[in-house]
Structure 1
């Protein structure tokens, strides 16, 4: 907006003419001297334009700037609230981490169909499903046992094959910041480093029921309902140890060994004291 040479009246200095202005300053020539004022704040409070059409346009611009200012203040306040909330969440997270006690069965085995196999290894996460009944029906399940010491085992059984042929496809530690109790969407994301997918040949050598045992029915190998179940920390350690032995490539073997060492450390497992697998298949 060009205001040069526009006539104005100031409440203290009288009539004058605008000689210069930019986005922040307006300079006005009065009878005795030139004065500089904050632009556009001075208008509407202390200074009045004689040109009514220009005055109306300027007032509209000032109103728009005031709306922008209030929106900016609102954004800053919302950001402040968000930061406070994040701080509270971090404190809650730190408290849960500090007070966490190891559960002996804080590992998860997941049943993957064909679509889920692709999703699991492309996005490295699984969905724990929805609550089937009660007041929380339809909400995502909270994997409450899952914590920093937890790993997710991905398994599948080919169509038409018996449950005893369930193969291990891969495994990952949960994400470094994941706490099942705080999960809202039901997704369990993978650790940034400790994750692996077996080759088809490796998977054929890793049968799930070599490790898993239903204590109530040790002779049975059945998976009736549900996409996942929790299982023993020691069983997951046995699986990781056996995957290490599968690897012939030294670099791959070292990566899996690091995974195994990390898992044992997080679950307070001593490698030398780890028993041999004794799952349902081993008992036949």
Structure 2
């Protein structure tokens, strides 16, 4: 849009002509001197174009600028709301952290179906499932015992095999700031560092029931329903220690060792005092 030499009238400085302009500044020559103004803001309130078609275009530009300004204000307000929400969550998080007491069974063993066997170790998260009945039917389960000290153990059972042959296929610590009580969508994401996938050969050597016991039926190896169960912190430490011994590749072994040390620290476990595994499979 070329406004050079266009005639204008200013409320204070009278008539003049435009000598220079760009997207943000306009310069006008008046009888006594040149003046610079903010473009297009000066139009409408203080400055009027004589050419009606150009004046109409300026009005459109002003309308567009006003819409952009309102959109910018809306975004800023949304950002403020998000900051207030995040602050509230952080304060709630800090409060829970301050008063949190370690639950002795705050680990999760998750039963993966065929599809989840791949997705759980590629996306490094699991879904806790939906509530089956009651007022909250259909809503995600809240993994209320899960906290920053918790790990998720991924297991799978090959078709046609008995439950005693359930294999461990992977394990991960939950995300650094995860709190089960605040989990609304049922998704349990992995820690950025502490996650281990087992090869098929390693998995075949690491059976869940070597470590796990259903305390209601200690002599049975059954899993009738549900996607997950909570289990003992010490059992998870035993599993992680055995994963360290299974890993032969130096980098993977080092990661497994760091994982084990971190887990023991988070769960206040003395690693050299760990008892031997005594799951249901060891009692046959």
**What band does the TM-score fall into relative to the shorter chain?**
over 0.9
Moved more, 106-115 or 209-218: 209-218
Alignment CA distance shift 1:33-1:191 (3 Å)? closer
Displacement, 1:10? 2.1
The aligned residue for residue 196 of structure 1 is 196
Does the residue aligned with 2:53 lie in a helix, a strand or coil?
helix
Give CA-to-partner distance per residue, 1:98-153, whole Å, 9 cap, x none: 22110010000011111100001111111111111122211111111111111111
Give matches, 1:1-284, under 5 Å: 1-284=1-284
CA–CA distance in 1 between the matches of 2:3 and 2:250?
Answer: 77
CA–CA distance in 1 between the matches of 2:40 and 2:50?
Answer: 16
Displacement, 1:250? 4.2
CA–CA distance in 2 between the matches of 1:161 and 1:13?
Answer: 93
CA–CA distance in 1 between the matches of 2:252 and 2:72?
Answer: 52
Alignment CA distance shift 1:24-1:251 (3 Å)? closer
CA–CA distance in 2 between the matches of 1:151 and 1:30?
Answer: 76
CA–CA distance in 1 between the matches of 2:29 and 2:251?
Answer: 80
Instruction: Give the alignment's Cα RMSD to 1 decimal.
Output: 1.6
Moved more, 113-122 or 2-11: 2-11
CA–CA distance in 2 between the matches of 1:243 and 1:22?
Answer: 67
CA–CA distance in 1 between the matches of 2:255 and 2:11?
Answer: 79
Moved more, 241-250 or 116-125: 241-250
Give CA-to-partner distance per residue, 1:218-273, whole Å, 9 cap, x none: 11111000111101111111111222222344443332222111111111111222
CA–CA distance in 2 between the matches of 1:259 and 1:242?
Answer: 12
CA–CA distance in 1 between the matches of 2:201 and 2:10?
Answer: 88
Alignment CA distance shift 1:46-1:247 (3 Å)? closer
Give CA-to-partner distance per residue, 1:16-37, whole Å, 9 cap, x none: 2222222233222333333333
For structure 2, the 5+ residue unaligned runs are none
Does the residue aligned with 1:108 lie in a helix, a strand or coil?
strand
Does the residue aligned with 1:48 lie in a helix, a strand or coil?
strand
Give CA-to-partner distance per residue, 1:192-236, whole Å, 9 cap, x none: 221112222222221111111122211111100011110111111
CA–CA distance in 2 between the matches of 1:161 and 1:257?
Answer: 31
